[in-house]
């Protein structure tokens, strides 16, 4: 199958009124998200999304629904995910879309779906929003992976509906959204049973799926609605109920685009296609903003931390999906360090307020998305920067940090309490802890200096920067660093960065994204899958795939 030009995504902003593939209904503490994929509404219109198979557009709506529930309906305690299709929950990622997409698009598609499923699990852990996968039909591949991200899985016992991972036996690839890891690490299914399941295209039905731990409960079709309601009530009863029923409205996040410059309210993105760089500049307001919960609620989605990091999240996705040749992202901030620290003081003092708490969680997820992007990240701390507290995390996650050694001492950074673990990485550690694994006493030393301004020599001595050139060498040092990065193989850089960024403990999340980086950049390019006679290429064709039988 020839590779089509992968579609551009013109907007990552969605609203339930414009959903093409999902229906969201809220009834008190229970929300129901019904998958009803419009077969004719694929991105780019190139494929029919049969049997609730999905593409990136379907998952963008899913991600919007999860986030919207957290901010607009904080009183919802349970999300039921079901299907409007008869005897089908979800057939997984659309195979024709995968077979015809460029490799880069496939990887970014799988990365986004992984992050969306992690967000579903995060909603359960940090917001008390539990989820129930109500499988009134077969869930295959990515459809079952979506179910695995839920707290409980209910399968209809009708002698035909099954859960399955057909990727290995039918397509010569693997489940792309953490399915194998969640089966054995999250559900703790026995390895031999997981092996049988993952190599059996038809999967497992009813009783065996339950006995082996692939689902949590069965229900006959005759009492399906009653069983779903009972399971939802059970999850709701166990969820905390101290959040307000009504939240705030999330307005669209869209930049003004003029050529290669994107301008949001608080973020500027400038592309240099010759240098293959994107410069992202996050701009602080002059003041730190309100410091009481009522005033923040009145601002709603316009409150700076919430709006700014939603804009950063949107820019990350646009760059990932639409600009695959822009390999280096330069991270900058503009504003007053006092304003950054004042903002952090509010985020810390009001952490128990639901809206402030949700904003902190959104910032954490956005920082993780930045780290999971296969791009080189370079932070520049210079005159007029505001890398303090939360914004210092942007420098701490970068692959390299350059800080101007200003003779007047006007370039400074600062630590806040939020650098102590408010935004843990995928490995469960703070970025300070990860940075100083070999100096475990250093994070405590830095956190003891909360609010202090550190000039360049002090920041360099404390290990917060990679290099500290003076004003004579600054321009050449930064230019050479970017030119050197541009000259290296992007494949090698992706592998190198993924290995270096997540030092320390391994978690479910680091396994999922680490293995994604490895297998996506190997198996999905192997002739056994995508060659002219590969299994993914020939899917649906009566011709048998031809494999290279050598193990590597």
Complete domains list, the chain, with CATH: 17-238 (3.90.226.10), 256-492 (3.90.226.10), 525-552 (no CATH)
* Distance, CA of 411 to CA of 398 (rounded, Å): 18
Q: Read off φ and ψ for residue 128, nearest 5 degrees.
A: 65, 20
Q: Read off φ and ψ for residue 239, nearest 5 degrees.
A: -90, 145
Q: Is the pLDDT of residue 375 over 90?
A: yes
**Tens of pLDDT, residues 521-545:** 678 888 999 899 999 999 988 999 9
Give the residue from 301, 269, 295, 273 showing the smallest Cα distance to 282. Answer: 269
DSSP β-ladder status, 204-205 and 137-140: unpaired
Give the predicted TM-score (pTM) of the model: 0.96
**Tens of pLDDT, residues 170-221:** 999 988 888 999 999 999 999 999 999 999 999 999 999 999 999 999 999 9
* Helical packing angle, 56-72 and 354-371, nearest 10°: 150
**Tens of pLDDT, residues 387-443:** 999 999 999 999 999 999 999 889 999 999 999 999 999 999 999 999 999 999 999
The residues, any chain, with a CB within 8 Å of residue 48's CB and separated by 6 or more, are 39, 40, 42, 96
* Distance, CA of 448 to CA of 33 (rounded, Å): 46
Give pLDDT, residue 373: 94
Tokens of 75: 């009183």
Give pLDDT, residue 84: 98
* Distance, CA of 387 to CA of 397 (rounded, Å): 12
**Tens of pLDDT, residues 275-313:** 999 999 999 998 778 999 999 999 999 999 999 999 999
Tokens of 152: 């409980």
Give pLDDT, residue 177: 81
* Distance, CA of 25 to CA of 32 (rounded, Å): 5
Q: How many beta carbons lie within 10 A of that of residue 549, not counting itself?
A: 6
Length of the chain counted residue by residue: 552
* Distance, CA of 141 to CA of 89 (rounded, Å): 11
Strand (E) positions, 65-179?
78-83, 87-90, 130-135, 137-140, 152-156, 162-164
Dihedral sign, CA of 437, 439, 443, 444? positive
**Tens of pLDDT, residues 128-152:** 999 999 999 999 999 999 999 999 9
* Distance, CA of 30 to CA of 130 (rounded, Å): 10
What is 213-234 written as a DSSP string?
Answer: TS-SEEE-GGGHHHHHHHHHHH
pLDDT bin (cut points 50, 70, 90) of residue 1 is very low
Segment among 34-43, 146-155, 445-454, 485-494 with least mean pLDDT: 485-494
**Tens of pLDDT, residues 100-125:** 888 889 889 999 999 999 999 999 99
């Amino acid at each position: 199958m020839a590779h089509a030009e992968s579609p551009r995504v013109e907007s990552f902003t969605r609203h339930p009124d414009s959903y093409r593939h999902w229906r969201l209904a809220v009834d008190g503490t229970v929300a129901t998200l019904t998958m009803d994929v419009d077969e004719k509404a694929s991105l780019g219109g190139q494929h029919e999304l049969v049997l609730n198979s999905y593409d990136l557009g379907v998952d963008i709506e899913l991600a919007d629904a999860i986030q919207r529930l957290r901010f607009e309906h904080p009183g919802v305690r349970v999300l039921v995910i079901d299907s409007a299709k008869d005897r089908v929950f979800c057939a997984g990622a659309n195979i024709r879309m995968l077979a015809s997409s460029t490799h880069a698009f496939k990887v970014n598609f799988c990365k986004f779906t992984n992050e969306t499923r992690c967000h579903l699990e995060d909603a359960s852990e940090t917001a008390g929003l539990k989820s129930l996968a109500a499988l009134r039909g077969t869930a295959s591949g990515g459809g079952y992976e979506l179910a695995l991200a839920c707290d409980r899985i209910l399968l209809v016992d009708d002698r035909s509906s099954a859960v399955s991972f057909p990727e290995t036996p039918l397509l010569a690839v693997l489940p792309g959204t953490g399915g194998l890891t969640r089966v054995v690490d999250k559900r703790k299914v026995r390895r031999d049973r997981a092996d049988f399941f993952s190599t059996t295209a038809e999967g497992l039905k009813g009783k065996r799926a339950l006995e082996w731990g692939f689902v949590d409960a069965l229900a006959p079709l005759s009492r399906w609605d009653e069983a779903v309601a009972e399971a939802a009530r059970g999850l709701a009863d166990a969820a905390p109920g101290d959040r307000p029923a009504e939240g705030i409205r999330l307005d669209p996040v869209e930049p003004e685009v003029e050529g290669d410059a994107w301008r949001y309210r608080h973020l500027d993105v400038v592309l240099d296609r010759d240098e293959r760089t994107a410069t992202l500049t996050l701009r602080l307001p002059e003041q730190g903003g309100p410091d009481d919960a009522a005033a923040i609620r009145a601002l709603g989605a316009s409150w700076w931390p919430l709006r700014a990091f939603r804009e950063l999240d949107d820019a990350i996705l646009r760059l990932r999906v639409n600009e695959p040749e822009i390999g280096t992202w330069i991270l900058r901030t503009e504003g007053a360090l006092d304003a950054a620290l004042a903002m952090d003081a509010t985020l810390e003092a009001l952490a128990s307020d639901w809206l402030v708490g949700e904003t902190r969680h959104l910032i954490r997820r956005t920082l993780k998305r930045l780290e999971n992007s296969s791009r080189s990240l370079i932070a520049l701390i210079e005159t007029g920067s505001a890398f303090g507290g939360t914004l210092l995390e942007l420098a701490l996650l970068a692959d390299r940090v350059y800080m101007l050694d200003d003779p007047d001492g006007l370039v400074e950074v600062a630590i806040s309490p939020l650098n102590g673990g408010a935004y843990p990485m995928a490995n469960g550690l703070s970025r300070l802890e990860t940075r100083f694994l070999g100096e475990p006493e250093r994070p405590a030393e830095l956190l003891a200096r909360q609010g202090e301004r550190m000039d360049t020599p002090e920041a360099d001595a404390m290990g917060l920067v990679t290099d500290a050139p003076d004003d004579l060498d600054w321009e050449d040092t930064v230019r050479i660093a970017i030119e050197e990065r541009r000259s290296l193989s992007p494949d090698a850089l992706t592998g190198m960065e993924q290995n270096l960024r997540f030092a320390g403990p391994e978690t479910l999340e680091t396994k999922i994204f680490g293995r994604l980086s490895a297998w996506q950049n190997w198996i999905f390019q192997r002739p056994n899958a995508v060659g002219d006679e590969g299994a993914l290429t020939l899917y649906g064709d009566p011709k048998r795939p031809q494999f290279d039988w050598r193990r590597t």
